């Protein structure tokens, strides 16, 4: 029951990607640092003789990044391919499965690089009999640009950005920052009322003083200043300082835009014009990428853009895509990928490095014998 990987190796090599074979046994800390504690329950953990936590690699992107950083200047152009086993605890499925994919670093012609990688991913899916791929694309830069242009307060922007990519969480976050769920009086309502009308800096000093008068030192690792910040943020939300109706309507209108890239682009342009939002920069990028895809002969009727589509991994920083097989497992992409310019800096590069890639789940493709 193994899939034939020889044609895939040829495809990726001929596209100019050099195969690398990073170690299976890896430092667990690096994966947990990037993905958070929640990943731990999916890792096969072990420990070294000195007590360091080790794990079997759960994916290839981070190991390939580490290889890139260890072998030269972080900003050099390099295209890597990989194929091999990865290990994750999965309910009802084997914890060992194979992935293949590519990572492309250092190309500053981002829109073209995005198109190249997506086109290669579609070719790879094709090798495994995905004749009619359903390609879902999204771009979190558009969402960021919209909430920037709406002039939303930084605290609310953070919350919205964090929920982006998960429609239910995003809807809840929009509701929350609109003040919609502050049922009943907020905690410390009397104190907040007394602060009402005080300018922000003065209010901040009052809250900070109050904490120190109360002798509150045990605040974990948080400073009195940051507690005061957030306390005042909450109070402004309670006082109706959350998202206004116009911003909320604009966000909801934006999130409803979807369709073929060319159709979506037209809808985005008229949305921006009617809402008078200056997001021309990211729209031009979107257009350039779409043109690149068209030049490569990619059938636009296969591409489905959703403005709310994102992949729930912190390091993705813009264009993302998933390739589904309409005749295969529902809900499980065969390929997932996107742009992650923030990952190499998180792993030690001094500044952001252009990076884009994809992974193919070899356990999700049809067995071709």
Residues of this chain that interact with other proteins (CB under 8 A) are: 32-33, 35-38, 40-41, 158-159, 162-163, 166, 169, 176, 187-188, 207, 211, 214, 216-222, 224, 226-227, 230-231, 233-234, 314
State which residue, 26 or 290, has the beta carbon closest to other proteins. Answer: 26
Question: Minimum Å distance from CB 89 to other proteins?
Answer: 10
State which residue, 188 or 296, has the beta carbon closest to other proteins. Answer: 188
| Spatial distance between the Cα atoms of 161 and 357, rounded to a whole number of angstroms | 22
State which residue, 126 or 182, has the beta carbon closest to other proteins. Answer: 182
Tokens linked to 206: 């009052």
Contact assessment for residue 88 and residue 41, using Cβ atoms and an 8 Å cutoff: no
Tokens linked to 62: 């981070």
Question: Minimum Å distance from CB 151 to other proteins?
Answer: 20
Question: Minimum Å distance from CB 299 to other proteins?
Answer: 36
Question: Minimum Å distance from CB 91 to other proteins?
Answer: 9
| Spatial distance between the Cα atoms of 113 and 106, rounded to a whole number of angstroms | 10
State which residue, 231 or 321, has the beta carbon closest to other proteins. Answer: 231
DSSP 191-206: HHHHHTTS-HHHHHHH
CA atoms within 13 A on the CB side of 146: 29
| Spatial distance between the Cα atoms of 73 and 349, rounded to a whole number of angstroms | 9
Question: Minimum Å distance from CB 100 to other proteins?
Answer: 27
Question: Minimum Å distance from CB 188 to other proteins?
Answer: 6
Question: Minimum Å distance from CB 37 to other proteins?
Answer: 5
Angle, helix 110-127 to helix 280-295, in steps of 10 degrees:
40
Question: Minimum Å distance from CB 47 to other proteins?
Answer: 13
Tokens linked to 28: 């667990």
State which residue, 41 or 276, has the beta carbon closest to other proteins. Answer: 41
State which residue, 137 or 163, has the beta carbon closest to other proteins. Answer: 163
**In 3-state terms, what secondary structure has residue 235?**
helix
Tokens linked to 236: 């402004």
Burial classification of residue 42, based on how many CB atoms lie within 10 Å of its CB (0-12 exposed, 13-18 middle, 19 or more buried): middle
List all residues 6 or more positions away from 352 whose beta carbon is below 8 Å from its beta carbon.
Answer: 341, 342, 344, 345
Contact assessment for residue 142 and residue 307, using Cβ atoms and an 8 Å cutoff: yes
| Spatial distance between the Cα atoms of 256 and 272, rounded to a whole number of angstroms | 14
State which residue, 112 or 182, has the beta carbon closest to other proteins. Answer: 182
| Spatial distance between the Cα atoms of 114 and 156, rounded to a whole number of angstroms | 30
State which residue, 36 or 85, has the beta carbon closest to other proteins. Answer: 36
Tokens linked to 234: 């909450």
């Amino acid at each position: 029951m193994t899939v034939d990987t020889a044609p895939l190796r040829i495809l990726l090599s001929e596209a100019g990607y050099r195969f690398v074979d990073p170690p299976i046994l890896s430092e667990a800390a690096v994966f947990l640092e990037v993905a958070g504690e929640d990943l731990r329950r999916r890792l096969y953990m072990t420990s070294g003789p000195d007590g360091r936590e080790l794990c079997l690699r759960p994916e290839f992107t981070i190991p390939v990044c580490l290889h890139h950083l260890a072998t030269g200047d972080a900003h050099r152009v390099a295209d890597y391919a990989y194929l091999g086993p990865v290990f994750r605890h999965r309910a009802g499925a084997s914890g060992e499965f194979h992935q293949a994919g590519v990572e492309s670093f250092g190309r500053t012609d981002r829109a073209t690089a995005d198109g190249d990688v997506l086109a290669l991913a579609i070719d790879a899916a094709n090798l495994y009999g995905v004749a009619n791929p359903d390609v879902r694309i999204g771009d979190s830069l558009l969402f960021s640009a919209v909430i920037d242009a709406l002039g939303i307060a930084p605290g609310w922007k953070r919350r919205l950005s964090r929920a982006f990519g998960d429609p239910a969480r995003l809807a809840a976050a929009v509701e929350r920052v609109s003040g919609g769920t502050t049922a009943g009086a907020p905690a410390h309502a009397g104190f907040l009322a007394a602060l009402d009308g005080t300018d922000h800096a003065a209010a901040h000093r009052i809250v900070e003083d109050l904490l120190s008068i109360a002798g509150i030192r045990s605040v974990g690792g948080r400073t009195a200043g940051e507690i005061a910040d957030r306390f005042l943020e909450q109070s402004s939300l309670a006082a109706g300082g959350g998202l206004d109706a116009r911003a909320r309507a604009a966000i909801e209108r934006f999130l409803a835009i979807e369709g073929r890239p060319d159709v979506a682009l037209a809808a985005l342009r008229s949305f921006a014009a009617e809402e008078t939002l200056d997001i021309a920069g990211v729209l031009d990028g979107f257009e350039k990428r779409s043109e690149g895809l068209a030049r490569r002969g990619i059938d636009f009727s296969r591409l489905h853009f959703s403005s709310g589509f994102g992949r729930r991994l912190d390091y993705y920083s813009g264009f993302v895509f998933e390739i589904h097989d309409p005749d295969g497992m529902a809900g499980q992409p065969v390929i997932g990928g996107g742009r992650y310019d923030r990952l190499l800096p998180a792993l030690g590069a001094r500044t952001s490095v252009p990076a884009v890639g994809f992974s193919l789940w070899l356990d999700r493709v049809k067995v071709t014998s």
